[in-house]
Amino acid sequence: MIELPIYDSNGTKVDTLQIDAAALGGEVRYALLKQAYVITHGNQRQGSARTKSRGDVHGSTRKLYKQKGTGNARAGASRTPIRKGGGVTFKKTRTREDFRTELPKKMRRLANRNALLAKLIDNEVKCFSALDFKAPKTAEFAAMMSKVGIDRTCLVATCKTNRNAMLSARNCEGVDVIRIDQLNAFALLNHRYLIVDKASLMSFIDSTCFGCECDEAECATPAATTAKPAAKKAPAAKAAATPKAAKASSKKEGA
């Protein structure tokens, strides 16, 4: 079991949280963390890098000097690949390169939990009883960080509804904010410390933060869909005979 101290907004230890290492993978798998980090980093590439050939570079194609009689090596245009400012011999011809690779779901989830386990083992997780701010105040958040000894880069993870805490933290230097349900190995490994409130940390460990994110109004079944469909109306009676048909019938009767 890992004992994690719980702090209040003044930096005073008020409680201790017992965390089972088995819930986070049991042991730190360094090869898995490296694989998850490299794949996530590669997936962020745009793949839009381009190069120009000698025909794409802006410049004259005039021969620099005559072929013979100067004593210099023969030369053509100034934008050839062997000259400074010239084109590239084999330019990239793809419109967009795709560097994206996928990590299996079980490996990705285990890597996210393993990264949190590594932070807990290194005492780099600062857990607060609550991150309550009446209004967004960067100075208050910076003071809270200094009281618990945070002097390096920091990642703040909290519930998406805690807007005041997100706005208070995002303007601090070296601090990034992330939703607790989006916490991942790449973000954890890119920061020295993790700041999280107790409720958000517990929801991540027991996976309750990954529930349905849609609004109640969207999840609720509309009354119109639950109501029984109305009975079909009986087919309308056949229209009356046309005037021409009526006249024809009256002539036959008169005859």
Task: Name the percent of the chain lying above pLDDT 90.
Answer: 61
Q: Which residue ranges form the domains of the chain, and what is each CATH number?
A: 2-48+98-210 (3.40.1370.10)
155-174 pLDDT, tens per residue? 999 998 999 999 999 989 99
74-109 pLDDT, tens per residue? 999 999 999 999 999 999 888 788 888 999 999 999
The answer on pLDDT for 239 being more than 50 is no
What SS3 string covers the chain? CEEEEEECCCCCEEEEEEECHHHHCCCCCHHHHHHHHHHHHHHCCCCCCCCCCCCCCCCCCCCCCCCCCCCCCCCCCCCCCCCCCCCCCCCCCCCCCCCCCCCCHHHHHHHHHHHHHHHHHCCCEEEECCCCCCCCCHHHHHHHHHHCCCCCCEEEEECCCCHHHHHHHCCCCCEEEEEHHHCCHHHHHCCCEEEEEHHHHHHHHCCHHHCCCCCHHHHCCCHHHHCCCCCCCCCCCCCCCCHHHHHHHHHHHHC
Check residue 32 and give its pLDDT. Answer: 95
**Position 215 confidence tier, pLDDT thresholds 50, 70, 90:** very low
Task: Name the percent of the chain lying above pLDDT 70.
Answer: 83
108-144 pLDDT, tens per residue? 999 999 999 999 999 999 999 999 888 999 999 999 9
The answer on pLDDT for 49 being more than 80 is yes
